[in-house]
Structure 1
Amino acid sequence: MHIFNIFKVKKEERWLVFIMLAVFLTFNTLLIISHYHVYTMGAHGGFWSIFTKNFRMSGYDNWSWITISGMRIHFMTLRHPLYLTFLYPLYLLNHWLIDIFGYNFAVYFMAIIIVLSAFYAVVFAYRIFREVMGLRQFDATLLTLLLFSFGHILIPSMVPDHFIVSMMFLLMTLYICGKKMKKRELLTAWQSFILTFFTAGMATSNGAKIYLAGLFTNQKKFFTWKYIMIGVILPCILLIGIQQAQYYLLEVPQKAIISNIEKVKKQKDPKGVEEFQKKRNAWQKSHLGQTMSKGSVLDWLDGSTPRSTTLVENFFGESIQLHQRYLLKDVAWDRPVFVAYNWIINYAIEAIMIVLFVMGIIFGWRKRFFQMLLAWFACDITLHLILGFGITEVYIMASGWAFIIPIAYGYLMKGLSHRHRQILRGMLLVITIFLWVYNGGLTANYLLNL
């Protein structure tokens, strides 16, 4: 399999992926028109205020809009080493267009990236069910639609953040490695290089998943000098080099400028700045969990947020079903860490889905492909639930792991008798329809009333 030929859409996939394309285009359009005149202002400077005051969806960042608009870097390139390289050419083009037309095209450029990534995420998800797992066309379609009905799979398909791009690369990796396992072929060193470079480039934590994919696919032959040097070490060196170059060429000079702006602002309105900081710090102290340490890497980790409530309301809750109250609010600004559902049916659906998920694990755990997925899932459990990284808004990480749920359902389908498979199929169809109506309806209503 040539790694770039997989982007060609096959005849069987067309109706599903183009219907989903229409869905993604619709939601991205609703997001842009919600503050159309503000988002497309061609002002030189002031982009941070323009976007942060008007965009707020569940803690997802709009840093990409700000970067493309005015080359201000507010995300951590250490955690996303390739993302700035990805956005910089768009900034140059947009900067030129702003000078000519006085109109900011950043939201359109980012929408193209998000929609294309979501489109191919659907393609690769469907192929995993159909070609890797060997499910019937109806079942593969149903499980793909189920995956994208999840609250925090749907939301990343419209917000200007890296999550759906990252998900697309992870699903592509699963598809490629799943096909390799099925054909008893090896993942080549250069294929590993490409997958690691782009996937870990979007989020460094993804690097561990690519290495696990290579290990499960190649097994003992993973440990060859060629594979280790080209497929593991080389992409790491390049990503570190790119990140460091970006840091010293762009971030260090920017930090000096921002520091001066903050100093001037504080001199002009010391009371206003102090009041804002007090209010902000008071909210975070009373609503967010306590980090393990201050001023170190442990500052990203949280040992105080209750794990059991997190599992119910956020990890398996909000990730799949949005909460009606505090809908799409940001925990760093105006949402409590935990919100209860208004309806008992939400908890009933969550319980059913978890039970089916556990049953799917039992039916699929002997398959090497699913063992690889479980190893990935263990990484997410360790990072978010055990160490507590991002635990107060853990649902926005769902696009990095939630695909294991419908894949587990696929193995459950394959293991059941015809009669029980029909019952499962009916249950999943009802849940899928409910989630699309529920999550899609809440999201559309939110965007239309911004």
Structure 2
Amino acid sequence: MKNPFNIFALRNKPERWLALVSALVFGALNALLVYAHWDRFTMARHGHVGAWWLYNNQLHFSGYDPYAYMMLTQYTAYYEINRHPIYTFFFWPLYQLNHWIMVTFDFNAAPIIIGVLITVLSSYTALFTYRTLKEVMSLGVKDSMWLTAMFFSFASVLTAAMSPDHFIVSAFLLTLTLYVFGKCLRDNKPVEWWKGAVLYLLTAGVTLTNGVKTLLGGLFVDGKKTFQWKNILLAFCLPTLLLVAGATAQYYELAVPRAQKSAIIVAKTRAKDPTLAKKDSINKILNKKISGEQLSNKPFLKYISMSALRTNGIVEGLFGESIQLHRDYLLGDIYLGRPAVVHYRSWFNYVVNALVAILFFAGIVVGRKRRIIQMLLSWWAVDLLIHIVLGFGCNEVYINGAHWMFFIPVAIACLYTDLKGKWLQTVKNMTMLLTVYLLAYNGTLIVEYLLH
């Protein structure tokens, strides 16, 4: 068996240049985010200052959660376990490193450690996107580079590549999965069971719905062979058991003790200040107004929103701020004062978003018979079902772009391979102009915001 880690090696000069430029750009963006929050985020705990006090509601960056910083400062489960079954466990080694730094130097290096991690993962996300375009979609080096740049010019992808949330981790694993499965589709070969098992375990471990995408990908690659006993037992049942075991252990070892400690602290605080109960009730009403009316409070059913503004979610979110930031309430959080619906100031922004959407859907139509496009459509259907049909997170759907927007350059690649003459040159010119504009527009607003 070949060394499985060879997939992370830089194979040629274009890849080395891509890795270098990516590392410099993403490193600078992450350094800027850390710089903007330096004084507070690098405080050590001193034994009594908890991670929740340090970071909760202190990262004012488009609604992304600073849970990665929190896990490295005070290790426990902050993400919902039924959506992120074993994600917390991935950070245990980094917590040990940061704990040693805090004890030794009285300095909290969590933002720096996470910034380095995100820079590396973002760079590899760019690399796997580039390889998919070049090796699977059969584009040239230049075209693959431009479409990779376009992917990272989108607002939700650019911000995910510098935020301490789970989105860039998902993008890294999904683009890796896309590349592995894409090569199998290209060569008409089945995916090796252990690759499918590892990819399913990792993608589902970070976000459960990403695991569904991996299973769908395996179905497109292997077809009926997916249901062979070997695949069912080793590539599905075994990883699923590990996910259940990991989630159960996380619940009893981390979530339950944290909930018990929190309950004690809340009870003591309310005893000292009786008005807090009324404030909590008001906050629950406000959060319900922001999130929308839930179908039920039962597990999983609580994620179904009956009152989400789906049309606005598509126009201003899915194909809005996912592509371009809004200048008003720039990088705001709907739970910290940003309205659920924000409109662009100019019609020009809507034209730009429409052009991206037109290229995307045109690519899907042209490439609709390709199995990789059909596979990615099934992946996208998962996101649309969750955020648009069910309405979960519809009011801030724009921060989920890293979960699906790599589909856009792959779809546009179908136009590159199928069109000819003036039509092809028009699409290429439009892609390059949109990429340059979006990088300049979104990049300038991010830098100005963080330096403000």
Q: Superposition pairs for residues 68-147 of structure 1, below 5 Å?
A: 68-147=72-151
* Cα offset, 1:353, TM superposition: 1.5
| Residue 443 in structure 1 maps to residue 439 in structure 2 | no
Q: Distance in 2 between matches of 1:53 and 1:223?
A: 46
Output one character per residue of 1:326-367: Cα deviation in whole Å (capped at 9) or x when no partner.
Answer: 111111221111100012111001111112212111100100
Greater mean deviation of Cα atoms: 287-296 or 105-114:
287-296
Aligned 8 A contact 1:301 1:390 in 2: no
Partner Cα separation in structure 1 for residue 24 and residue 369 of structure 2: 38
What residue in structure 1 maps to residue 24 of structure 2? Answer: 22
Q: Following the alignment from structure 1 to structure 2, what is the Cα–Cα distance between the partners of residues 246 and 282?
A: 30
1:243 matched to 2:244? The reply is: no
1:214 to 215, 218, 233: 218
Query: Does the CA-based 8 Å contact 2:216-2:378 persist in structure 1?
Result: yes
Structure 1, 15-24 or 339-348: larger mean CA deviation:
15-24
**Contact 1:303–1:388 at 8 Å: present in 2 too?**
yes
Aligned residue number for residue 34 of structure 2: 32
Report sequence identity in percent. Answer: 37
Give the drift of 1:279: 4.5
Contact kept, 8 Å, 2:86 with 2:205, in 1: the verdict is yes
The amino acid of 1:436's aligned partner reads L
Shift of residue 381 of structure 1? 1.1
Structure 1 residues 443 and 275: alpha-carbon distance in aligned structure 2, compared to 1, 3 A threshold = farther
Whole-Å separation in 2 of the counterparts to 1:296 and 1:236: 19
Amino acid at match of 1:80: H
Runs of 4+ deviating beyond 3 Å: 285-288
Contact 2:291–2:393 (8 Å) recurs in 1: no
- Point out the more displaced range, 361-370 or 69-78: 69-78
Structure 1 residue runs without a partner (length 5+)? none
Cα deviations by residue, 1:110-143 (Å, 9 ceiling, x for unpaired): 1122111101000000001100000111110110
Aligned to 1:253: 257
Deviation at 1:72? 3.7
Q: d(CA) in 2 for partners of 1:438 and 1:172?
A: 28
Q: Please report how far the alpha carbon of residue 82 of structure 1 lies from its aligned counterpart in structure 2 after TM superposition.
A: 2.0
1:75-118 Cα offsets, whole Å, 9 max, x none, are 11221122111112222222222111111111122112211110
What stretches of structure 2 of length at least 5 have no aligned partner? none
- 2: CA distance between counterparts of 1:296 and 1:185? 39
Q: Which amino acid aligns with 1:418?
A: G
Equivalent residue of 1:205, what SS? helix
Deviations 1:304-345 (A, max 9, x none): 123222111011101111111111111122111110001211
| 8 A Cα contact 2:76 2:88, kept in partner | no
Q: Does structure 1 residue 307 correspond to structure 2 residue 310?
A: yes
Cα offset, 1:53, TM superposition? 4.4
User: What amino acid sits opposite 1:189 in the alignment?
Assistant: W
Q: Residues 80 and 285 of structure 1: is their aligned pair in 2 closer, same or farther, counting only changes over 3 Å?
A: closer
Instruction: Give the C-alpha shift of residue 2 in structure 1.
Output: 5.1
Distance 2:200 2:99 in 1: 31
Q: Does 1:8 align with 2:9?
A: yes
Question: Residue type of the partner of 1:318?
Answer: E
Whole-angstrom CA distance in 2 between matches of 1:32 and 1:131: 36
1:18-417 correspondence to structure 2 within 5 Å: 18-43=20-45, 44=47, 45-271=49-275, 273-274=276-277, 276-417=279-420
Deviates more, 1:216-225 or 1:1-10: 1-10
Task: Calculate the aligned-residue CA RMSD, in Å.
Answer: 1.4
Deviation at 1:146, TM superposition (A): 0.2
Instruction: Verify the 8 A CA contact 1:337 1:393 in the aligned structure 2.
Output: yes
Supply the distance in 2 between the matched residues of 1:322 and 1:3 (Cα, whole angstroms): 38
Is residue 170–residue 199 contact of structure 1 (8 Å, CA) maintained in 2? yes
Aligned-partner Cα distance in 1 for 2:203–2:350: 34
Output one character per residue of 1:242-294: Cα deviation in whole Å (capped at 9) or x when no partner.
Answer: 111121122212211111111111112222x2354244234324433211123
* The 10-residue stretch of structure 1 (45-54 or 31-40) with the greater mean CA deviation from structure 2: 45-54
Q: TM (normalized to structure 2)? A: 0.96
Check 1:302–1:2 CA distance in 2 against 1; reply closer, same or farther (3 A cut): farther
Q: How many residues align?
A: 448
1:417-447 C-alpha deviation (Å, 9 max, x unpaired): 1221111111111100110011111111111
Between the aligned partners of 2:153 and 2:161, the Cα distance in structure 1 is: 11
**2:303–2:390 contact (8 Å) kept in structure 1:** no
Aligned to 1:76, the other structure's residue is in SS state coil
Between the aligned partners of 1:232 and 1:311, the Cα distance in structure 2 is 34
- What is the alpha-carbon distance in structure 2 between the residues aligned to residue 172 and residue 81 of structure 1? 20
Q: Is the 8 A contact 1:3 1:191 kept in 2?
A: no
- 2:335 aligns to what SS in structure 1? coil
TM-score by length of 1: 0.96
Residues 41 and 55 of structure 2 are in contact (CA less than 8 Å); yes or no, is this contact kept in structure 1? Answer: yes
Q: Relative to 1, partners in 2 of residues 1:282 and 1:247: Cα closer, same or farther, differing over 3 Å?
A: closer
